[in-house]
Structure 1
């Protein structure tokens, strides 16, 4: 017999795996970004973001392996923290590394 409860569990588990992937992406980007980029853009420090995203990755992993509830407060907080980083901080710190200005005869002047 088809059970709707098991289907919802599967959907929430897939969402937890997506949250884990998103938090890994944000955490790795924060680790690879120079600390100077955070200071120049006026965002929080690299140390603070790596701590926040490290905990977000830990909580999302715990939800993905079903140690924590897949739709719990810690999973939601990890999605929010990763989303803020990816939507606000990542675009700002990426602009610092591009250099801009005159890059050559075929680039922008």
Structure 2
């Protein structure tokens, strides 16, 4: 009973780590290529390959083996180091495509 609960917990942890890796992969995919160069963080293709391999390792191999841990480290490095640098270089994303002078009911300067 206790062993089954432990394996159940490991299954949920594996799913959570896979979701985390897929989040990082999608985030890397939606960032612009020139932002990677401007932030001096390798290239977009490099991070896409690293994160795709990390997600595959986490999905295929058991979490207690060595390779998924290396993949998790790569995902953490992207999330903690690369992602904030890309956000800083890219600037804040605006929803709706409005300009910076837009108010809640439309543009201020008509």
Global fold match (TM > 0.5): yes
Larger Rg: 2
Q: Bigger relative contact order, structure 1 or 2, given CA contacts below 8 A and separation 6+?
A: 1
Post-superposition, which runs of at least 4 consecutive aligned residues in structure 1 deviate over 2 A?
Answer: 103-106
Deviation digits for residues 28-82 of structure 1 (CA, Å, limit 9, x no counterpart): 11111111101101111111111100101111221xxxxx222111221121111
Residues of 2 paired with 1:58 and 1:105: CA distance? Answer: 43
Query: Which residue of structure 2 aligns with residue 16 of structure 1?
Result: 14
Is residue 78 of structure 2 the alignment partner of residue 80 of structure 1? no
Query: Which residue of structure 2 aligns with residue 65 of structure 1?
Result: none
TM-score by length of 2: 0.79
Aligned length: 96
The runs of 5 or more residues in structure 1 that have no matched partner are 63-67
TM-score by length of 1: 0.79
